[in-house]
């Protein structure tokens, strides 16, 4: 599942792109060492990369200016994540040691111990909550400012593949290996609803902008729209050719971007598609030149995707 962690999307303020325009490379960030992990803050102000030289490099966006470099040590990292405002950056290694860094100070903010290697890490939109799970274990939710664990979700067989907070943090949705899509109260961890319509494992989940619906997809090769309060399946978008590895709803809520996985070869790139949620219409589709390492929606509802070469990160404007 860690390969799915590569599929993290970028949020950044950029100029608009006319529909139908082929994806263009809009920014290149040179990297002195090849990238292992890459994240961008939803605020669009910061990009972060952990490179093979064990340095965390932080760039201010949209200028692409390198603002700091942090020595992370010799841990073998398995997963990284950045908070929405870019202030907190989490790295977790194979032993289950998770470290939250304060990016502005370049200092360790908090350390959390998991039973073993991480399976999931997600910040809430305001960066105050952190959902974290060892692979196969229940999701734990932490209050970052208070440095305390708030609650733990129920154990599900096989654990959780993906999770997302609603924009106000009131709800937390999980895509679980037992094929359930669950919605919990974001403050208490109490189960709100469960959808059981998936046959294959859902691998990606997000809320619509108003938090009333959950968009989920995975090995079933179809994007489902689910009522968050009841767990009832509302509709499917069109059937897809490949499993969905990651999805993210646009800031204005009208579109959802899906990153597919190439089931024949997980190391080869698969398409990125943008859908209109209301109609299920496919707005655009693009096959990246290599496996995406990150990406996301801009605040004005455009989609950027990042790929990497040994020397640089390349940003492509897809929609």
Binding site residues, another protein, CB under 8 A: 1, 3-4, 94, 116, 119, 135-136, 157-159, 161, 177-179, 199-201, 203, 218-219, 221, 243, 263-268
Q: Closer to another protein at the Cβ: 158 or 254?
A: 158
Q: Closer to another protein at the Cβ: 45 or 160?
A: 160
**Nearest-angstrom CA–CA distance, 75 and 95:** 9
Q: Closer to another protein at the Cβ: 62 or 136?
A: 136
Q: Closer to another protein at the Cβ: 44 or 180?
A: 180
For strand 255-260 and strand 118-123, is the pairing parallel, antiparallel, or unpaired? unpaired
Shortest Å, Cβ 292 to another protein: 15
Helix (H, G, I), strand (E, B) or coil at 85: coil
Shortest Å, Cβ 194 to another protein: 14
Q: Closer to another protein at the Cβ: 229 or 263?
A: 263
Q: Any bridge partners for residue 259, and if so which?
A: 246, 272
Shortest Å, Cβ 172 to another protein: 21
Cα–Cα distances in angstroms (integers) from residue 299 to residues 1, 13, 54, in the given order: 29, 6, 31
Residue 138, judged by CB atoms within 10 A of its CB (0-12, 13-18, 19+), counts as: middle
Pairs from 46-49 (Cβ < 8 Å, separation ≥ 24): 46/82, 46/86, 46/103, 47/10, 47/12, 47/313, 48/80, 48/82, 48/86, 48/89, 48/103, 49/313
Q: Closer to another protein at the Cβ: 83 or 179?
A: 179
Q: Edge-to-edge strands of the sheet including 213-218? A: 202-207, 213-218, 222-227, 233-239
Q: Closer to another protein at the Cβ: 18 or 267?
A: 267
Shortest Å, Cβ 156 to another protein: 9
**Nearest-angstrom CA–CA distance, 126 and 39:** 16
Shortest Å, Cβ 157 to another protein: 5
Q: Any bridge partners for residue 175, and if so which?
A: 162, 181
Q: Closer to another protein at the Cβ: 117 or 123?
A: 117
Shortest Å, Cβ 116 to another protein: 7
Q: Any bridge partners for residue 58, and if so which?
A: 48, 68
Shortest Å, Cβ 177 to another protein: 5
Shortest Å, Cβ 136 to another protein: 5
**Nearest-angstrom CA–CA distance, 176 and 78:** 20
């Amino acid at each position: 599942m860690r390969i799915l962690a590569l599929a993290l999307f970028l949020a950044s303020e950029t100029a608009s792109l006319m529909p139908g325009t082929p994806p263009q490379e809009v920014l290149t960030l040179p990297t002195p060492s090849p990238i292992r992990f890459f994240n961008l803050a939803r605020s669009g102000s910061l990009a972060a990369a952990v490179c093979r030289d064990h340095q965390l490099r932080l760039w201010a966006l949209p200028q692409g200016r390198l603002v700091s470099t942090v020595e992370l040590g010799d841990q073998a990292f398995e997963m990284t994540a950045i908070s929405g405002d870019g202030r907190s950056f989490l790295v977790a290694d194979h032993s289950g040691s998770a470290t939250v860094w304060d990016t502005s100070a370049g200092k360790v903010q908090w350390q959390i111990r998991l039973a073993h290697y991480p399976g999931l890490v997600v910040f809430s939109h305001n960066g105050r909550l952190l959902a974290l799970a060892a692979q196969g274990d229940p999701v734990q939710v932490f209050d970052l400012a208070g440095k305390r664990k708030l609650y733990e979700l129920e154990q599900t067989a096989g654990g959780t593949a993906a999770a997302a907070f609603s924009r106000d943090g009131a709800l937390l949705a999980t895509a679980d290996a037992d094929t359930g899509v669950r919605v919990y109260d974001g403050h208490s961890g109490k189960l709100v609803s469960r959808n059981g319509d998936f046959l294959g494992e859902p691998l990606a989940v997000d809320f619509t902008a108003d938090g009333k619906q959950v968009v989920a997809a995975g090995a079933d090769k179809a994007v489902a729209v689910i009522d968050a309060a009841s767990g009832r399946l509302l509709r499917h978008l069109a059937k897809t050719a490949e499993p969905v590895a990651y999805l993210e709803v646009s800031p204005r809520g009208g579109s959802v971007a899906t990153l597919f996985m190439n089931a024949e070869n997980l190391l080869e790139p698969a398409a990125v598609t943008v859908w209109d949620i209301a109609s299920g219409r496919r707005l655009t589709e693009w096959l990246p030149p290599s496996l995406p390492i990150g990406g996301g929606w801009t605040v004005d509802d455009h989609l950027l995707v990042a790929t990497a070469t040994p020397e640089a990160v390349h940003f492509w404007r897809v929609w």
